[in-house]
Amino acid sequence: MEAPAAPRNPADPGVVTAEIVVNSPEQMKELGRRLAKLLRAGDLVMLTGELGAGKTTLTRGLGEGLGVRGAVTSPTFVIARVHPPLGGGPPLVHVDAYRLGGGLDEMEDLDLDVSLSDSVIVVEWGEGKVEELTDDRLHLLIHRAVGDTTDEVRHVAVTGVGERWGAVDLGALSA
């Protein structure tokens, strides 16, 4: 993985960004493991990217890094899965909002606002749906080549929004 330093966005000092190039699924899992070291209970992580971009692969690495129970698989058909911690860390709540059309109102049945304070919540396809849960969130936008290609390269734009992420060195994700 390679990345330049994580600069502050001069237009919005509450936003910190990093750009990371990932060359394989294993590197995507490793990015998830590195990200897990920065996360704590109460964190919301939004993952955006095309089908097959690596959102669930990254979340598998997060699960490994957080030390949670159960195999992390795509929750597409069950919408959400809770992975309890094996040790003293927070549970991982993994949500796939792909099939949900509306905003936060449609997601209220998932009780994400109740889970947020003691869990790490990762929402695939959450853009425009879960931002209202908290002023502080981490958004990962994963770009990959589309079409008939076997290209494994992914470009991951990491954006930390809010006071929580102001003091976090997102450049550590590429170390």
CB-hemisphere CA count at 13 Å for 142? 27
- Please write the tens of the pLDDT for every residue from 128-146: 878 888 899 999 999 987 7
Residues 17 and 117: their CA atoms lie apart, in Å, by 24
Contact between residue 157 and residue 4 where contact means Cβ atoms under 8 Å apart: no
Tokens of 32: 């998830």
Superfamily of domain 16-169: P-loop containing nucleotide triphosphate hydrolases (3.40.50.300)
> What pLDDT score does 103 carry?
53
> What pLDDT score does 145 carry?
77
Residues 137 and 160: their CA atoms lie apart, in Å, by 6
Residues 148 and 165: their CA atoms lie apart, in Å, by 37
- Please write the tens of the pLDDT for every residue from 18-74: 999 999 999 999 999 999 999 999 999 999 999 889 999 999 999 999 999 988 987
Instruction: Kindly state the helix (H) or strand (E) to which residue 8 belongs, with its residue range.
Output: strand 8-9
Most distant CA pair in the chain, distance = 44
Question: Which residue carries 């990345």 as its tokens?
Answer: 3
Q: Is 146 exposed, middle or buried (0-12, 13-18, 19+ CB in 10 A)?
A: exposed
Average pLDDT, the chain: 82
Q: What percent of the chain has pLDDT over 70?
A: 75
* Nearest Cα residue to 61 out of 89, 19, 26: 26
Contact between residue 112 and residue 133 where contact means Cβ atoms under 8 Å apart: yes
Q: Is 164 helix (H, G, I), strand (E, B) or coil?
A: helix
pTM of the model: 0.83
Q: Kindly indicate the confidence band of residue 110, based on its pLDDT and cuts at 50, 70 and 90.
A: low
Q: How many residues does the chain have?
A: 175
> What pLDDT score does 132 carry?
82
What one-character DSSP code corresponds to residue 51? T
> What pLDDT score does 105 carry?
54
Residue boundaries of the structural domains of the chain: 16-169
Most confident of 13-22, 91-100, 161-170: 161-170
